[in-house]
Structure 1
Amino acid sequence: MKGIVSSAVVASALFFTGCGDNKGDSKETKASAETAKQTYTLKFSHVVSPNTPKGKAADYFEKRLEELTNGQIDVQVYPSSQLYNDNAVLKALKLDSVQMAAPSFSKFGKIVPQLALFDLPFLFKDIDHLHRVQDGEVGNALKGMVTEKGYKALAFWDNHFKQFSSSKKALLMPEDAEGQKFRIMSSKVLEAQFHAVGANPQMMPFSEVYSGLQQGVIDAAENPISNIYTKKFHEVQKYLTISNHGYLGYLVVMSEKFWNSLTPELQAKVEQAMKEATDKEREFAEALNTEQFNLIKEYAEKTGKLEIFTLTEEQREAWRKAVSKIYPDFYDKEVIGEDLIKKTLATE
Structure 2
Amino acid sequence: MKILKLLGLATAIVFSGVSAHAETELKLAHAAPDTDLQQTLAVFFKEQVKARTNGSVKVTIFPQGQLGNDQAMIDGARSGIIDIVMTGLNNLTGLVPDAGAFELPFMFPNRNLAYKVLDGEVGQGVSAQFTQHGLKMLGYPENGYRNMTNNRGPIRVPADVAGLNMRVNNSKALNDMFAALGANPTQLPVAELYTALETGVVDAQDHPIGIVLSFKFNEVQKYLSLTQHAYSALALAMNNAKFNGLTADEQKVVLEVAAEAVAMQRKLAQEKEASMIAELQASGTKVNTDVDAAAFQAAVKPVWDGYIAQNGDAVVNAILATQK
**Normalised TM-score (structure 2):** 0.82
1:295 aligns with 2:270: no
| Distance 1:160-1:341 versus aligned 2 partners, 3 A rule | same
* Greater alpha carbon shift after TM alignment, 132-141 vs 208-217: 208-217
CA distance in 2 between partners of 1:116 and 1:137 (Å): 16
The answer to whether the 8 A contact 1:331-1:338 is kept is yes
**Which residue number in structure 2 is paired with residue 244 of structure 1?**
228
1:41 aligns with 2:16: no
1:272 aligns with 2:271: no
The answer to whether the 8 A contact 2:52-2:253 is kept is yes
* Greater alpha carbon shift after TM alignment, 134-143 vs 285-294: 285-294
CA distance in 2 between partners of 1:344 and 1:59 (Å): 32
Shift of 1:284: 3.2
Q: Secondary structure at the match of 1:244?
A: strand
Q: Counterparts of 1:79-94 in structure 2 under 5 Å?
A: 79-83=63-67, 85-94=69-78
Q: Secondary structure at the match of 2:186?
A: strand
CA distance in 2 between partners of 1:110 and 1:260 (Å): 24
Shift of 1:162: 1.2
Shift of 1:338: 1.3
CA distance in 1 between partners of 2:53 and 2:75 (Å): 28
**Which residue number in structure 1 is paired with residue 3 of structure 2?**
none
Q: Secondary structure at the match of 1:102?
A: strand
Shift of 1:189: 1.6
TM-superposition CA deviations, 1:11-51 (whole Å, max 9, x none): xxxxxxxxxxxxxxxxxxxxxx99x9453413132133444
The answer to whether the 8 A contact 2:168-2:174 is kept is yes
| Distance 1:336-1:280 versus aligned 2 partners, 3 A rule | farther
Structure 1 residue aligned with 2:43, among 46, 59, 84? Answer: 59
1:339 aligns with 2:314: yes
TM-superposition CA deviations, 1:243-281 (whole Å, max 9, x none): 111233321111222222233333222211111111112
1:325 aligns with 2:308: no
| Distance 1:208-1:89 versus aligned 2 partners, 3 A rule | closer
The answer to whether the 8 A contact 2:78-2:133 is kept is no
**Which residue number in structure 2 is paired with residue 128 of structure 1?**
112
CA distance in 2 between partners of 1:206 and 1:57 (Å): 20
The answer to whether the 8 A contact 2:91-2:170 is kept is no
TM-superposition CA deviations, 1:73-118 (whole Å, max 9, x none): 2333333444555333333334433322213224324322333333
Q: Which amino acid aligns with 1:347?
A: T
The answer to whether the 8 A contact 2:150-2:203 is kept is yes
CA distance in 2 between partners of 1:111 and 1:322 (Å): 28
CA distance in 2 between partners of 1:81 and 1:50 (Å): 11
The answer to whether the 8 A contact 1:43-1:100 is kept is yes
The answer to whether the 8 A contact 1:100-1:254 is kept is yes
Corresponding pairs, count: 307
**Normalised TM-score (structure 1):** 0.77
The answer to whether the 8 A contact 1:45-1:81 is kept is no
Shift of 1:214: 4.9
CA distance in 1 between partners of 2:194 and 2:58 (Å): 40
The answer to whether the 8 A contact 1:37-1:72 is kept is no
5+ residue gaps, structure 1: 1-32, 301-305
CA distance in 2 between partners of 1:69 and 1:98 (Å): 20
Q: Which amino acid aligns with 2:147?
A: Q
CA distance in 2 between partners of 1:325 and 1:253 (Å): 31
The answer to whether the 8 A contact 1:60-1:277 is kept is yes
**Which residue number in structure 2 is paired with residue 110 of structure 1?**
94
Structure 1 residue aligned with 2:244, among 253, 260, 266? Answer: 260
**Which residue number in structure 2 is paired with residue 310 of structure 1?**
289
Q: Secondary structure at the match of 1:252?
A: strand
| Distance 1:145-1:237 versus aligned 2 partners, 3 A rule | same
Q: Secondary structure at the match of 1:145?
A: helix
When the two chains are superposed, the root-mean-square deviation of aligned CA atoms in Å is 2.9
**Which residue number in structure 2 is paired with residue 286 of structure 1?**
270
The answer to whether the 8 A contact 1:45-1:98 is kept is yes
Higher-Rg member (1/2):
1
Shift of 1:296: 1.0
The answer to whether the 8 A contact 1:170-1:240 is kept is yes
Q: Which amino acid aligns with 1:247?
A: Y
The answer to whether the 8 A contact 2:36-2:214 is kept is no
